Structure 1
Amino acid sequence: MEEAQAELERQARERLIGQALFTQALEQKSPTIPDAEVDARLSQFEQEVAASGMQIDDMLEQAGKTREDLRQELRQDLAVQALVEEHMGDQDPSEEELRQLFDQVADQLNRPEQIQTRQIFVAFTDDGTTPTEERKQTARQRADEAFKRLKAGEDFVKVFDELSTPMPAAGEGGEFPFHARGELPPPLDDAAWALKPGELSEVLESEYGFHIIQLEEHREAAPASFEEHRDALARHQLQQNIMINVPLTALELRKTAKIEMLDETTGEFVPAPAAAEPTAEGEPVNEN
């Protein structure tokens, strides 16, 4: 029992020492990351977000973050990578690693049949409370007005800006990202998939209000290609390689660090015990 407790204490101590050393080294490394590298990583990230059907500003708004917050996170990621590579060598995945990863996840990356829509939404109420019949009638009149203006050829974005209730998931002009069957509530989903590009639905009612859908584009299902996803896979595998080597990097940092701990018996600081060698998975092994 005492041996088990001692081992738990040793592991906790090793984690704290490793975290402290790594954090200290990062504080020295982060300011040295060139802005050009941060800009390049940000551009790459924006392209990956756009490929998923989202806009980076919308994603940041939903996460409650700013572009500067994202830049700082990317700078930190680059600093971690630089620190690990300084001690453990290049972490970029090989072509063979990427091919193996693609084979493992290809089925998940296959693109299903998708549509992209715009939508005008007129909510029953602004506060989500149970609507009265009078409020429902008022909302219906507003939706009917929007429908008539659209059928008369008026610009969808203009009508959206003037009559639609804001929708957090919608982009500019009520545009939604590409989505597969079943991702909208049944009445809306059925109506959207029955449209041809450019066509409008009738005024549709849901539990929240009235909707008018316009189909923008229809994509057929397509198998994933390695080339299409290579950059995203490389970024994912790079992060995996780095995280595996963070404990090993902390061990390398410890080899040259002067670490002392308080001896509770004497009240004096004494050299901390040597760290155990990590396994291939990065977890220290107690050799005693």
Structure 2
Amino acid sequence: MGSSERHPAIDPGFGYHLLRQALRLFGKNLAQLQPAEYRQVQEQATRSFELESRVLAADEAEGVMIPVQQLDASLNQLVSRYESREAFLQDLAVNGLDEAGLRLALQRELLFDAVMQRVTADCPGVSDIDVGLFYEMHRERFEAPETRVARHILITVNPEYAENTRHAAYARVEQLVEKLAGRVNRFADFAKRYSECPTAMQGGALGDVKPGQLYAELDAMLFSLPAGEISPIVESEMGFHLLLCDKIKPGKRIPLSRAAGKIRVLLQQRHQRNCQQAWLDSLSSQNSRQAV
């Protein structure tokens, strides 16, 4: 059943909320929804439309204007998602909307956003003390982990090739261990000659490796190695590896001076959301008292 059959004379503002909720909840146009899905979409759309209507009727909305250029830009952004303007208009029609109705709905949405921004104008700012407290209470967020500069040699396991059966691959790695004889300075050359990993072209270089970046077996081995040491043979699902830990870069904490900007933005956004929610709660209370 198409959307036009469900509500032939629907308010375009509410129709826009229906479409938004259908896309958000199910990734579908209204005409694609099953009856149970449509009921869920209608319930959510009713809530969001009623909230928008309450906000637009509040004293704080008085005098708020949306420039025509801003409305045009919002509409054009939607049109740009389609292959052509005709496809855009066709999609609107399928969902019981037209361009004029969509324009009104977008104007309401922009007005809603503008009012919510006005509400936060008097929201208390974030102080340096707030920033410092957040930094101290969430130190783990600002810890850069230890990394290892590493190289590896890989001999793959592939039963389809005699030289890469598991037994043969392991024997080849054992021969490499004997030839290397712990000589770290020869590791890159051996990787270029023998490794079956694309990194062979760079002497087996893996670059700066963070914890959890490699296969679990390799990760555990690499982060247990002292700098300048070659590992025993390690097996992963790819095959057999030799690892070299070239260098250990200790973990460090990002200083407050570098983290302060992001912390301030995070806290400001949090304060704004709290201000907006408190205002919405007070608006609901006012409406409830007036209804009584």
TM-score, length basis structure 1? 0.43
Q: Which has the larger radius of gyration?
A: 2
Larger relative contact order (Cα-Cα within 8 Å, sequence gap ≥ 6): 1
TM-score, length basis structure 2? 0.43
